[in-house]
A = this chain, B = another copy of it.
Amino acid sequence: MTTLLDFFFDFSSPYGYFAAMRIDELAAKYGREVEWHPILLGVVFKATGAKPLPMVPIKGPYVLHDLERSARFHHIPFTFPAPFPLMTQIAARAMLVIRAEHGAKRATAFAKAVYQAYFIHGIDISALENVLRIVTDQGFHASGISDAVNTPQIKEQLKTEIEAAMRLGVFGAPFIIADGEPFWGFDRFDQLEALLQQNK
């Protein structure tokens, strides 16, 4: 089988960052590729009534602790960023523009760079200028993307893609759909791997 894995993430989700650092490698191990779908958890949470985890009473401090420990356990560099959470629509739209103009592979590389900027270097990825710096670092022209991220077309496209994700049952991030099977959370990578092994 060569069916793509669908990977849904929000650039502000730390567990999404962990998944992003591992998903391509896991897929490749089983001869698979990954289609990366940026979503906005703010939009999704409106439907489920969820709050960003670290904002939940009592649970919040645990989650911060769990993130640090999970990063160490999985050997992923991580520094909890401030501000957190933040708006990620500019980064998400920039990724869609790059995908349309330069293909999925380079869009995925850009996405990883955005995640690392935020969760390793603490760069405020809600700011257009910071997103554009990553755009430039990835070898693209900032000016074209700077204009494109604010067009009604790209805004509409991101909205449409999020709605499509929700129709597929996506209610959080990271979320992976593999051969029709949904997996929510980086901590389901063991069960995802078992599926990929089984469907080899």
User: Beta-carbon contacts of A59-83 to B below 8 Å, as 1s and 0s?
Assistant: 1011001100110010000000000
Segment of A50-58, A128-136, A148-156 in the binding face: A50-58
- Answer whether residue A139 sits at the interface, using C-beta atoms and an 8 A cutoff: no
Q: Are A69 and B169 in contact (CB under 8 A)?
A: no
- Count of identical protomers in the assembly: 2
Which A residues lie at the B interface, using CB under 8 A? 47-51, 56-59, 61-62, 65-66, 69-70, 73, 166, 169, 171-172, 182, 184-185, 187-188, 190-191, 194
25 contacts between A and B (CB under 8 A): A47-B57, A47-B58, A48-B56, A48-B58, A48-B59, A49-B51, A49-B57, A50-B56, A56-B171, A58-B166, A58-B171, A59-B171, A59-B184, A62-B169, A62-B171, A62-B182, A62-B184, A65-B182, A66-B184, A69-B191, A70-B191, A73-B194, A185-B187, A187-B187, A187-B188
